Amino acid sequence: MYYLRKYPISLLIILIVIYLSFFKPPTTELSRIPDFDKMVHFCMYFGMSGMLWLEFLRAHRKGVALLWHAWIGAFLCPILFSGTVELLQAYCTTYRSGDWLDFAANSCGVLCATLISYFILRPRILKDDHK
């Protein structure tokens, strides 16, 4: 219940990412755009990691928060989760293939969200807290 209260939107995004990772996508005109799926992967994991960072910083703005918890929960775990999903797609589905470029796009999304959260969002939240 603790995580459900502290990270409700993050948990919802994680469930959406799981669903999007394993459903059979319909064929649309968007599939003609080169590397469109890589942009989708980037956005999914950018959103997941960014929301994890945001909810962590919001939940722990009072008191001393161990920042390494955020690095593990909002950076390392989404990358490991992404790799696990890609392996499950490769070995447990017939309509999805685990793609290393998808994993790279996922990791880039997590990295960008982390950099923005750590260097832009975190200082603003801490500055607002000290007013």
C-alpha distances out from residue 127 to 63, 120, 122, 131, Å: 14, 11, 8, 7
Has residue 126 got a pLDDT over 90? no
Element (H, E) at 53: helix 36-59
Closest CA to 126 of 48, 78, 70, 86: 70
Is residue 29 assigned to a domain?
no
Residue 128: pLDDT band by 50, 70, 90 thresholds?
low
Residue 31 lies in a domain: no
The pLDDT of residue 75 = 97
Give the pLDDT confidence of 19-60 residue by residue, as tens digits.
Answer: 999 988 888 888 788 989 999 999 999 999 999 999 999 888
Question: Does residue 67 have a pLDDT over 90?
Answer: no
Asked whether 54 and 12 are in contact (CB, 8 A), the reply is no
What total of structural domains would you count in the chain? 1
Identify whether 40 is part of a domain: yes
Question: Residue 25 falls within a domain, yes or no?
Answer: no
Q: What is the pTM of this model?
A: 0.91
Residue 8 is predicted with a pLDDT of 94
Classify residue 120: in a domain, yes or no.
yes
C-alpha pair distances (Å), 19 with each of 16, 23, 24, 85, 121: 5, 6, 10, 11, 28
Is residue 91 a part of any domain in this protein?
yes
Tell me the per-residue pLDDT of 91-125, one tens digit each, with 9 for 90 and over.
Answer: 998 888 888 999 999 999 999 999 999 999 999 98
45: containing domain: 2-20+36-129
C-alpha 85 chain-centroid distance: 12
**According to the model, what pLDDT value does residue 63 have?**
56
